[in-house]
Structure 1
Amino acid sequence: MAKIEIASFNIQSAIIAQQNGADRVELCAEMNVGGTTPSIADIKEVRAVLNIDLNVMIRPRGGDFVYTGDEFQQMKNEILAIKELGVDGLVFGILNADNTVNTAQNKELVDLASPLPCTFHRAFDTVQNMQIALEDVISCGFKTILTSGCEPTVNQGLSNLKQLVEWAGTRITIMPGGGLRSTNIAHILQETGALYCHSSAITDGTDTAVAEEVQALKSKSSRS
């Protein structure tokens, strides 16, 4: 059975995720730009109501994943503050201007986050060479990569996801996400052998997870 992480853009989504069988919540703000760092107040409120694992995104803004010195300092400050709130992991990713992995900055953040495990987010899907990027992310100390296989959705990136899982082996967890729904999760898991999947579970055009979709994701992940 694969595990399910629900990307939650508000407190209600996190509660819905837990109530309907999710294994972990990734808390973010600003769904319209793909997620940014949530407020300290929201993190505290979600932590208070969740018994399941809570990962938090560290991303100062939408757009690309190349950050200024001030933005990098902001990420470091956020990691130090959020570490104190009892979260279970952090989610971020920094690239160079040529869309290679910025190993120096990422490693500094991973070290700062320790002992919390870190996930390299979908910045991975814009890299130039996914095999080189995979090795770079592993070298930085990340435990998980959230990816749609370097394509817009997991369906389009299916063959790449399968390749990434094979290359990664037991060194890092490849977590398919991006267009992942109850309608395709069983096929994605069967084809890739992934052990963790990521979805917003939003099927109604809002910014809040749908309870029935979380249930369906969990149910179909157990039959893969």
Structure 2
Amino acid sequence: MVRIEVCVESTSGAKTAALGGADRIELCAALELGGITPSAGLIEAVVDVITTHVLIRPRGGDFCYDKHEIRVMAKDVEHAIDRGAESVAIGALTADGRVDMDAMVRLLGAAGEVPVTFHRAFDSVVDPFAALDDLMELGVDRLLTSGCAQTAAEGAEAIAEFVRRCGDDLCVMPGSGVAPDNAAALILSTGAREIHCSAKSPVVGSAPLVKVGPHDGGQRFETDLGRVRAIVTAVSEL
């Protein structure tokens, strides 16, 4: 059985993922920044709708965090779990592109017994195989990766090698660019048993936004029920 995780940033996205047959969501905010930590109110609003994994990332940009940011992340991990999250997705790197072991120990301590995913910070490491060893040493449960490529389809060969090397010690989950027309092929070519997607489409007919700053405006996207169902159907018999 292949498990499907849908990345969402709203209550409507969570409900759509559940209705479409997804197994869980990764909940975040500001996907245009690559995702950051969602609000406590949003977490509380969706945990009863579908199994919820929460992204913990204090800002956009790189994944090198100072001690103050790590402290914020640790508190966010605790707060997400207190509000019903069943898992958290975290990641931290050193300036030279390696897993920040000290930061990860702190964050894993905050998570306690709750399962932890190392997110796509992994795709920025300088040595993926050394990073895999670090994650297994840390006891991380899951890795979200595109195989250090732009998309999971482009990184499928690397993902397959990650799956082979990790065995049962670390669940490797392909993500980035996963769509109805490539989801099954990704599972078959990599040997992964979980997959991550956004399944989003542009919102048609949304009200125009009032411009109050340089980053306002642009197309708004939302989780698409048809795309979720199509991905679920594509992998349902694998």
Normalising by the residue count of structure 1, what TM-score does the alignment of the two structures yield?
0.96
Counterpart for residue 143 of structure 1: 141
Task: Give the SS at the match of 1:64.
Answer: coil
RMSD: 1.1
1:31 matched residue in structure 2: 31
Deviations 1:15-72 (A, max 9, x none): 1000110001110000111000000011111123x1x311001100000000112111
Q: Is the 8 A contact 1:186 1:223 kept in 2?
A: no
Partner of 2:76: 78
Aligned partner of 2:215 in structure 1 is none
1:207 is displaced (CA, Å) by: 2.6
Shift of 1:79: 1.3
Q: Residue type matched to 1:76 in 2?
A: A
Could you list the per-position Cα deviations for residues 161-184 of structure 1 after superposition, in whole angstroms to 9, with x for gaps in the alignment? 110000010001000001111110
Q: Counterpart in 2 of 1:98?
A: 96
Q: How far apart, CA to CA, are the structure 1 residues paired with 2:53 and 2:91?
A: 14
Equivalent residue, structure 1, for 2:19: 19
Runs of 5+ unmatched residues, structure 1: none
Q: Find the aligned partners of 1:181 and 1:203 in 2 and give their Cα distance.
A: 11
Deviations 1:184-208 (A, max 9, x none): 0011011011000000001336431
Deviation at 1:87, TM superposition (A): 1.2
User: CA offset at residue 95 of structure 1?
Assistant: 0.2
Question: 1:53, 1:140 → 2: CA distance?
Answer: 24
Contact conserved, 2:75 with 2:110, CA < 8 A, in 1?
Answer: no
Q: Which residue of the partner structure matches residue 85 of structure 2?
A: 87
> Contact conserved, 2:43 with 2:84, CA < 8 A, in 1?
no
Q: Secondary structure of 2:222's match?
A: coil
Q: Deviations over 1:68-120 (max 9, x none)?
A: 12111110111122221111000010000011001121122112101110000
**Higher RCO, 1 or 2 (CA under 8 Å, sep at least 6)?**
1
Shift in Å, 1:160: 0.3
Find the counterpart in structure 1 of residue 157 from structure 2.
159
Tell me if structure 1 keeps the 8 A contact 2:54–2:87: yes
Whose radius of gyration is greater, 1 or 2?
A: 2
Aligned residue pairs, count: 222
Structure 1 segments, 4+ long, off by >4 Å, are none
1:107 partnered with 2:105:
yes
**2: CA distance, partners of 1:57 / 1:78:** 9
Residue of structure 2 equivalent to 1:69: 67
Partners of 2:201 and 2:221 within 8 A in 1: no
Q: Which residue of 2 aligns with 1:183?
A: 181
Q: What is aligned with 1:220? A: 234
| Contact map agreement 1:9 1:207 (CA 8 A) in 2 | no
What amino acid is the match of 1:223?
A: E
